[in-house]
A and B are shown apart, each in its own frame.
Chain A
Amino acid sequence: MRPSSQTSRRAASTLAFAALSLAACPDTSGVFDDFVERSEPFRKGPSAGECGGAVDLSGTYLQGVEVAIDRTKPLRFRVDVDIDLTTNTIDFAMQALAAPPNNGDIPAGTPVGEIYTATSPITPADGKFVLAFPSIVVPTAANPILPAPVTATLTFSGCTSTATFSCGTIAGSITDPVTLALDGSSWALTPLADGVDPMSITLVASCPE
């Protein structure tokens, strides 16, 4: 039989542990993981569009970019596309365009920041290409989502749909000011004629559903 003093110590110990067990601890990791799992069925990716074959759509375009973190505020870029069907390559040169609400005194539609270029082979059968931009900085004036410059790593996948239209999906992530995945984002091109205000054109930023 246990000595009574030892029994009382054990009882006190049990009481202390019992009190602890009643005080629940926050489990923030569990709540986060639970939301990720619960929201998975609601995470619909954008349409990749239909690809018919390699088409020469060289020209100047207004590019709309719809990012998954906020689909109501597409970004605008001016894009020069140069396609060579003899070598089956596409050259892409893009520059951000200032847009409200963070453009300050810079008129909306004004090219801002650097021009970024990428080249990709085109698959002759379906016109598919993949353009990789290791690091793009979108200046504050061209960023409708955050009042801050954003650095991103982007990969545009798409195909040459018609002689005046191309669209596709985006993979990659924002790397500054915060790390955020951009998978599930989309883009599309609309012809931009010389002298036309890019803000006057109805922006398309995804493939037809």
Chain B
Amino acid sequence: MPAPANCRRPPGPSPLGTRLAPAIALVAMVLTTATSLPARATGLLVARFGGEWGHPMSDDLWSIYYNPAGLSLLDATKLALSGSFAWRAMSYTRGEAALDDVLEDPDVGAGTPQGAGISANTGEATLSNFLVTPFFAVGSDFGIDGFGAALGFYVPIGGQSIWDRKASSPEFPGAEDGAQRWWTIEGTIRSMYATAAAGYRIAPLRLSVGAGLNVVISEIDNIQARNVDGTDNLVANGRLQEGRARIDVSSVDLAVSLGLLWEPIDHLFIGLSYQSQPGFGEQRLTGDVDLVLGSGPVPESTRTAAEVRQSMPDVLRFGVRYGAPKSWEVRLFGDWARWSVLTEQCILNATVADRSCVGDAPPGKIIIIPRHWKDAWGVRGGGSWWATPDLELVLGGGWDGNAVPDAMVEPALYDGDKFHLTLGAKLTVGDALEVMLSYSQIIYPDRDIAARGRVPKDPNDPTGATWTDIATIGLRDAVRVPDAAGQYTHAVGVVELGMSYRF
């Protein structure tokens, strides 16, 4: 089967590539096909490269993201490659109570007709995806005692989903895209980091300091069902109402990281690091929006130049590890992400000079998706035991909090409280090569989101047309989106396979 148009595959082997095929394959994977894991920490944070060895007390190349101060302990020239291979299963069951309006007569008014209409706009939507997330880094101490610097590429923020198709409907052409289609049918949101970082150990203080500069490539590519008024109405006066909006935007921003790693006594490491927001605040992603709305003929061009405004969080990481080398080690670490900065994803017409996301009538508004996420944190604990000097066995577990309040839960960017358990091993081969393998199971308790309830569109006509009540959840009409009430189930399993090579 040919690859979809926007699936970027690595090039075929060349003579040079034949000799270096494995490395080229992995690097090509990193550079050209980076996908994203489903949410594994809080919100959209998915950084778990390095498995149980990726944490803010690390002394390996994983520290390029978790804590650049750890690069000061590299003590060699090293290369690290890893891949996170994840399966993800999710379901969303939407009930009739979430609909904006239910029509007794499909030819009168705007809404979801009873019977087949309700079936086309509710029910269970499912997703079963397999995802790959790469990590690549190379670093060296350059022969300088207490110094280390590295370059890396990885995907710490984002998610991707392709929802299962449903049976088609002879009356409602949107039905086969599933009950979750008002939020996403297929889509990606991710931020890929290219990082240069360095760390230096101040020996008398037993303290390492580090800093990194990130070039952040952010992308949003999503398609969803959409109506001009933000409702989930299938028809209006007997004619098709449901449309589609496709968003394809990207940006390149800068971000920085800072870190401290203190070893107050031998083999006790206390780490603290900070990752700034991409773009140090609001990001502006540019690209296109394709829109087809209502029952009219589809125009020759459906495209509008678009700008998306959003803010990703800054992240604080902290932790401690202690142990006896090649014998045992225990670790406790956590992170806190300022997800409260993600209040809206605002999609504007880029050709409107005075475009704005503010107010009841934002100039140039195409779609404003309300988020209003909350700050979230997570904590992990784990330990290592060396069965032999060359074989380290690890066990870890933890909890990550939920960044998405009930009123803002929807299938496209889902989050919830989650527990995880990890088993793994690292094998040292000779003096140079380390190979690590681990499996993590992430367990999400189900979420059951209550419907907003319906209110009259016209307060002076209490028996007339309805839509869902967004005023009680603090939203204005300009950011109206359909009600994503219903039952959510979610589970993720991840195999982390990586290697580190010392030159």
Interface residues of A (CB under 8 A from B): 6, 9-10, 12-13, 16-17, 19-20, 22-32, 35-36, 38-45, 67-73, 100-102, 140, 145-149, 173, 176-185
Contacts and interface: CB of A to CB of B under 8 A. Distances in A.
Nearest to B28: A16
Contacts of B293: 69, 180
Contacts of A147: 360-361, 477-478
Contact of A71 (B33, B188, B237, B477): B237
Contact of A70 (B5, B85, B131, B227): B227
Interface stretch (B118-126, B273-281, B363-371, B391-399): B363-371
A12 B25 contact: yes
B290 interface: yes
A102 to B, nearest CB: 8
Given A10-B21, A177-B364, A101 B239 contact: no
Q: Max chain B CB contacts within 10 Å: which of A10, A12, A30, A35?
A: A35
B330 interface: no
A68 to B, nearest CB: 3
Contacts of B33: 20, 23, 25
Given A13-B22, A146-B361, A179-B349, A68 B294 contact: yes
Nearest to B17: A13
A26 B188 contact: yes
B109 interface: yes
B228 interface: yes
Nearest to B305: A179
A17 B25 contact: yes
Size bracket, chain B contacts: 35 or more
A41 B241 CA distance: 13
A86 B24 CA distance: 81
A40 B25 CA distance: 43
Interface of A is mostly: mixed
B22 A20 contact: no
Nearest to A143: B361
A39 B162 contact: no
B352 A35 contact: no
Given A13-B13, A16-B22, A148 B160 contact: no
Interface string B457-499: 1100000010000000000011000000000000000000000
B314 interface: no
Interface of B: 3-10, 13, 18-22, 24-26, 29, 33, 35, 83, 85, 109-110, 129-132, 160-162, 168, 173-174, 176-177, 185-188, 221-223, 227-229, 236-237, 239-244, 246, 248, 289-299, 301-304, 349, 352, 355, 360-366, 457-458, 465, 477-478
Given A27-B4, A43-B296, A68-B294, A178 B349 contact: yes
A180 B22 CA distance: 49
A39 B174 contact: yes
Contact of A35 (B292, B294, B301, B361): B292
B21 A12 contact: yes
Given A147-B477, A176-B364, A25 B3 contact: yes
Contact of B296 (A32, A145, A146, A181): A181
Contacts of B22: 9, 12-13, 16
Given A26-B160, A38-B173, A179-B304, A71 B236 contact: yes
B18 A32 contact: no
Contacts of A32: 223, 244, 246, 290, 292, 302
10 contacts: A9-B20, A13-B13, A16-B25, A22-B132, A25-B188, A32-B302, A35-B177, A72-B236, A72-B237, A177-B349
A29 B364 contact: no
B121 to A, nearest CB: 15
Contact of B185 (A16, A31, A102, A149): A31
Contacts of A173: 299
Contact of A20 (B13, B29, B168): B29
A148 B187 contact: no
B130 A23 contact: yes
A36 B292 contact: yes
B186 A27 contact: yes
A177 B465 contact: no
A10 B26 CA distance: 13
A176 B355 CA distance: 10
A42 B295 contact: yes
A44 B295 contact: yes
Q: Max chain B CB contacts within 10 Å: which of A68, A100, A185?
A: A68
Contacts of A71: 110, 236-237, 239, 241, 294-295
Contacts of B188: 25-26
Nearest to A25: B7
